[in-house]
Amino acid sequence: MSHSTPDPNAAAGNVYDGLLEHHDVAGDDSQWAFGTDFEDPLAGVDTTVPDDVDAHELATYCLMLGDDALVLSQRISEWCSNAPDLEEDIALANIALDLLGQARLLLARAAAADPSVVPTLPEGSPVPAEDALAFFRDAGQFRNLRITEVPNGDFAHVVVRTLLFATVRLSLFTRLAESRDPVLAAIAAKGVKELTYHRDYAGRWFLTLAQGTDESRRRLTAALAELWPLFGEPLSTHPVEAGVAAAGVGVDPAAVADEVDVVLEQVFAVSGVDRPGAAPLAGVQGRTGRDGLHTEALSRMLAEMQVVARAHPMGKW
Amino acid sequence: MPTATATATTAYDIAASVTDPEMPMLTLEDLGVLRGVRESGGRVVVTITPTYSGCPAMATMRDDLVHKLTDAGYDARVEVALSPAWSSDWISERGRAALRAHGLSAPGRAPSADGPIALNLSPTRRRLTCPRCGSAQVELTSEFGATACKALYRCTACLEPFEHVKEI
C-alpha cells in the first residue's frame, strides 16, 4: 500500500501540523528554537538595594558599565565576517557576546534598582526593561565612555581598543566583585573570568603586530595614537562613580589607574612600543561620555542598532 | 500521591536529565549549571546558573526544563543564580568522560583568582591529548571557538581539529 502525496492545503490539515503540535500544554511554543517570549535574566535574584545606598545613583552607575559593554559589543560585532581570518572573526564575535551578556545583566540590574531610568513603552509592550534601555534611549541618555563608540578602523584598531578597555574593566571588575550590592558583585565576578581572556587575547595580538612587519607595526602605533586621547576618560572619576565608591557598591576608576598602568607598561615594554604622549581629549564644558556627551558616531551606530526594535515597540512583526 | 520529598526527588531527577542544547552529551547536572530544585507553594522551582554572561543557551535550557517538568505534571518555573559564578571545575567526572567520548577535550583546573590577575602574553599552555588519537602533539588554534565555552585545537599527529572546553 502506498501513501498519496499529502496536500498541504487540505482542510484536514497539512504536513507541517506535526511541527506545531508538540503536546497539549496551552501556549506551548517549544518548537521555536529560543521560545517566543522574553526571559528575565535576573529571575529569582534578590535585587533589593542595600538600605543606605542611593538607588538612582546605583542604577546610573550600572547604566555606565552596561552602556560601555553594549556599545563596544555592537562595535566589535561589526567585525563579524570582516576579520583577517576565521579564527579572529570567531574570537571577536565571542568577545562581543561576552560583553553583550554583561550589558544585559547590568541594564537589568539598573532597571531593578530604579525603574524610573527605563524609557516608557506603549501599554502592553512585552519588551523587557533591559531591552527598553538598550533600544529606546537616545545617544544623549547613554552613559558609555567615548572610547567604546568611535568607529572601527583596521584590525590593529580593534586590538588596541580591546586591550585598553579590557585592562581597565578587568581591574574595575576584580574590585567590584566585593561590591556591597550582591547583584553587581556577582555580575562582576563572572565578568572577571571573561575579561581575563579578552585582555590576554588583545595583549598577544598587540605584541604580535608590534613585532610583526613594518606595516603591522605602523598600523598598531597609528591605532594607539588615535585611541590614546580617549583613554583619559576611562580612568577619571565621575561624580556618580565617586558616590557609589564612597557607598561601597562601586569602584572609583582613578583607584585602578596605577594597576592599569603597570599592565599596559608590561605590554608596551615587551612589544617595544613607546607610550603615547598625547593629551586626553577634553570634554565639552566639562561633560564627557559619562554625562551623555558623545561623538556623532554614537548616534549613527544607535540608529542602526535600534531601528528594528523602535519600529516594533510591541515586540511583534 | 507522592510525599513532598519523593516529589522533589523526582522533579530533581527530571531536571537533572535535561541536556545542554549546545553540548547534548552533557546533562545540565553534569555541566554544573543545575544549582537546585525545590518545591515552593506547590510549584517546582529550578535554579540554574549561566556558564558565560552572554550564553545564548540559557533561554533554551529554561524552556527545556519547563517542558520536561510540565510533561511530568509539574508546575515548573526556572530561576537564575548568579553567585557563585559557574566554574568549569563544576563539570562532573561523568560529564568529562562524556565530553571525551564525543571528541571534546575536557577542561583542566580553573585558575584561582586572588587579587590582581596577571597578564599572560604567551599562548596558553595546557597539557592536553587529542580526544581522537590520544597524541599529546596538539596545538592551540584559537582561544575562542564555536561557543563561548570552547577553545579550538588541532592534533598534529592525526591532523584532526578538536574543541577544548575552557577553564574558567
Q: Is A57 within 8 Å of chain B by CB? A: no
Domains contained in chain B, CATH given: 4-80 (3.30.300.130), 103-108+125-165 (no CATH)
- pTM for the model: 0.90
- From chain A, the residues in CB contact with B55 under 8 A are 101
- Residue B121, min C-alpha distance to chain A (Å): 5
- Contacts with A34 (C-beta within 8 Å, 6 or more apart), sequence order: B56, B59, B60, B63
Beta strands in chain A, from DSSP E residues, in sequence order:
none
Cell 545542554 sits on residue:
B20
Q: Which domains, ranges and CATH numbers included, belong to chain A?
A: 57-114+142-301 (1.20.1260.10)
Strands of chain B (E only): list them.
34-40, 43-48, 76-80, 104-105, 138-142, 150-155, 161-165
Neighboring chain A residues of B121 at a CB cutoff of 8 Å: 200, 203-204, 207, 266-267, 270
Q: Is A95 within 8 Å of chain B by CB?
A: yes
For B85, the closest of A28, A87, A186 (CB atoms) is A186
Q: Copy the grid coordinates of residue A221.
A: 602605533
Q: Please write the tens of the pLDDT for every residue from B110-159.
A: 988 677 889 999 888 899 999 999 999 999 999 999 888 999 999 999 99
For every residue of A200-247, DSSP letters joined together read: HHHHHHHHHHHTS-HHHHHHHHHHHHHHGGGGSGGGSPPHHHHHHHHT
Inter-chain touch B124–A189, beta carbons under 8 Å: no
Question: Does the complex come out with an ipTM higher than 0.85?
Answer: yes
Mean per-residue pLDDT pooled into runs of 10, chain A (317 residues): 52 54 49 55 92 96 98 98 95 97 98 97 93 97 98 98 98 97 96 96 98 98 97 96 98 97 97 90 87 97 96 86
Question: Around Cβ A94, how many Cβ atoms within 10 Å?
Answer: 26
**Does the CB of A172 have a partner CB in chain B at under 8 Å?**
no
Is the pLDDT at B16 greater than 70? The verdict is: yes
d(C-alpha A19, C-alpha A262), whole Å: 58
Q: Report the residue of chain B nearest A37, measured CA to CA.
A: B59
Minimal CA separation from B103 to chain A, in Å = 20
From A35, A91, A105, residue closest to B144, measured CB to CB = A91
